[in-house]
Structure 1
Amino acid sequence: MHAHVVLFDGFDPLDAIAPYEVLQAAGLATGGAVSAELVTAEGAREVPSGTPPLTLRATGLLDPARADVVIVPGAAGTLPSEDGEEREDSIPAILARTLGTGLPGLLKEALEREDTLVATVCGGSAILAMAGLIVGRPATTHHQGMELLSAGGARPVAARVVDDGDLVTGAGVTSGLDLALYLLEREVGPRVAHAVETLFAHERRGVVWSDRGPAPAF
């Protein structure tokens, strides 16, 4: 399983690094059967995070044909002001700027491929929603970003991880660990996922929600 972890200007470092490290550790646990690569929509380059002066280097181009899994992080920045004025360094503004890049088109291609899984951490799902790529689909994000999902036509679900088949979304920043471990369990197997979880001294938390089973009566 090869994963492309997407970087863009203003990305949240933990959103990207947490799943990247989980998958790299899984590579060690599987003799190289799992791997991860930092990529952008433009190719190899230095990518400034939203937590300056931290910068990461992407080593390749996001290519849905080469990735079994595409992982999209959210952004790091300021919160929207109470007066409604949107600053350039606000998280919604940073996420919105990705719409002017080649990223939405590549994510659309990934979602349309039968053999590619798209996963998001925190505001990564808001990018998909703002691009109109997940209309009607259940998804989660940081609790302060649920309105962005609704505005884009997605169905917000208050869960740690939401599994909608070829779309798996994670909630707040630290959910990147839980999301990546869940992907390992689902795609590779629970024994490898448990081994990596133990290595990281992390106990998964929260609910993995999926649209299966009877609807609750309340």
Structure 2
Amino acid sequence: MLVQVVLFDGFDPLDVVAPYEILGTAMTAELVSAEGPRDVPSGNGLLSLRAVSRLDPTSADIVVVPGALGPLPDGIPTILAATLSTPLPALLAEAMSRPECTVATVCGGSMILGMAGLIEGRHATTHRLGLDALAANGVQVVGTRVVDDGDLVSSSSVTCGIDLALYLLERELGPEVALETERMIAHERRGTVWRAAWELSRRG
């Protein structure tokens, strides 16, 4: 399976690195951007990461969208909103049009989808400070660490990206793979993953 983790100017490094490392233990994972190969600066100037290719919504099995890192209260919303003027929303819309592709978000990543009008009526979560804003974009907000709405899987605050990645391993490859990875990184997931009723029915 191919996992593409999206980088954009101002991304939160932990939102990126944790899912990239965890999913990369059992899948092919790569860092990408909407513009193609480039060095992408994270928020607060902490570091840059190299996008090795352009986000390819026609071939990715999982696309991970991180949140942003910046000063509160206005820095993070400004960074997230700036992505709307890039090719990213169109590429994410194309990914979401493929039922076989799962779009996963960490922290404010779901806000990008919400502001782009891509998840109206869908169930999702985000950082607690952004729940009202996400709801204002027509999203059915669920206040849990991980929300599974079928081909949309979202997680709330920054460290929840670890739980998100482990859940995706379990969902796609089975509990044995997820458990072995948990042991390797000495992390225990907590909380209940909220799953949409239709998704539970589909999976039997």
Given the two structures, how large is their TM-score scaled by the length of structure 2?
0.95
Partner secondary structure for residue 114 of structure 1? coil
Once the 2 structures are TM-superposed, how far is the Cα of residue 96 of structure 1 from its aligned partner?
0.1
Matched, 1:5 2:5: yes
1:123 corresponding residue in structure 2: 108
**Displacement after TM superposition at 1:65 (Å):** 1.1
1:159 Cα offset (Å): 0.5
1:174 to 147, 159, 167: 159
Q: How does 1:46-195 map to 2 (within 5 A)?
A: 46-80=39-73, 86=74, 90-195=75-180
Structure-2 separation of matches of 1:78 and 1:129: 21
Cα RMSD of the aligned pairs, angstroms, is 1.0
Task: Specify the alignment match of 2:195 in structure 1.
Answer: 210
Deviations 1:54-84 (A, max 9, x none): 110010100011200000000001112xxxx
Amino acid at match of 1:166: D
Long gaps (5+) in structure 1: 27-33, 81-85, 214-218
Q: Distance in 2 between matches of 1:184 and 1:4?
A: 14
Residue 20 of structure 1: aligned partner: 20
Contiguous gaps of at least 5 residues in structure 2: 199-204
Instruction: Show CA shifts across 1:9-53 (max 9, x none).
Output: 000000010000101222xxxxxxx11000000001000000313
Q: Within 2, Cα distance between the matches of 1:78 and 1:148?
A: 17
2:34 corresponds to 1:41: yes
Structure 1 stretches of 4+ with a deviation exceeding 2 A read: none
Q: Which has the higher helix share?
A: 2
Following superposition, the deviation at residue 150 of structure 1 comes to 1.1
Q: How many pairs are equivalent?
A: 198
Give the CA deviation at 1:211: 2.3
Structure with max Cα Rg: 1
- Residue 152 of structure 1 deviates from its aligned partner by 1.1
**Identity within the alignment, %:** 62
Separation in 2, partners of 1:190, 1:22: 14
Deviation for aligned residue 1:206 = 1.9
TM superposition shift of 1:115: 1.2
Q: Which of 160, 163, 185 pairs up with 1:200?
A: 185
